[in-house]
């Protein structure tokens, strides 16, 4: 199962932070990828594990400030490619889902809207992690600017709850 852990970083050097996180969970899971806000204060870590309780315990007992942990589904990319390439994005868009949106409705909408990205020259959609509880999704992009990413989201008619520049 895949999970996204949203963690706070209190000025720890990011490579040390990620090495410590990977070590903390190694008995219960694997760090697949991490995306870090430009200022280094927030870490979005994608983890693979058999269960959330063990993962949560390993993270919190190691002293990490865990803001959220949720099971997710990867959309728009293959897990093996993510594991192999460890691609970094330039922007992360969070979309808090409206009440009543189901996974099936979301995936149908995504399939309909995704072809519109090919017409956008200054932004490339990379992948999305959709929370299985349908609270929100995390969408990763490469783009010329925050404004370009916001325009791309308008083209595909998809809201933005928060946007983060990644570093």
- Is the model's pLDDT at 11 over the cut of 80? no
**pLDDT at 37 > cutoff 80:** yes
∠ CA 88-68-48 to the nearest 5 degrees?
55
Instruction: pLDDT band for 64, please (50, 70, 90 cuts).
Output: very high
Question: How does residue 136 score in pLDDT terms, banded at 50, 70 and 90?
Answer: very high
Q: Is the pTM of this model over 0.75?
A: yes
Task: Compute the distance between CA of residue 156 and CA of residue 161 in angstroms, rounded to an integer.
Answer: 15
Residue 110 Cα distances to 29, 114, 118, 125, 130, angstroms: 29, 6, 14, 12, 11
Q: Could you tell me which residues are beta bridge partners of residue 7?
A: 43, 66
Report whether pLDDT(147) > 90: yes
């Amino acid at each position: 199962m895949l999970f996204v852990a949203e963690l706070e970083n209190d000025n720890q050097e990011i490579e040390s932070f990620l090495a410590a996180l990977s070590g903390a969970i190694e008995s219960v899971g694997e760090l697949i990828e991490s995306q870090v806000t430009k200022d280094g204060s927030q870490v979005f870590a994608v983890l693979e594990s058999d269960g959330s309780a063990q993962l949560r315990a390993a993270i919190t007992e190691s002293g990490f400030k865990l803001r959220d942990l949720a099971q997710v589904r990867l959309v728009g990319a293959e897990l093996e490619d993510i594991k192999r390439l460890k691609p970094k994005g330039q922007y992360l868009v969070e979309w808090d889902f409206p009440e009543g949106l189901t996974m099936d409705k979301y995936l149908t909408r995504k399939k309909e809207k995704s072809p519109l990205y090919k017409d956008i020259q200054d932004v490339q959609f990379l992948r999305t992690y959709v929370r299985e509880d349908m609270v929100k999704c995390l969408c990763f992009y490469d783009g010329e600017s925050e404004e370009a990413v916001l325009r791309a989201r308008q083209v595909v008619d998809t809201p933005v709850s928060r946007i983060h520049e990644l570093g």
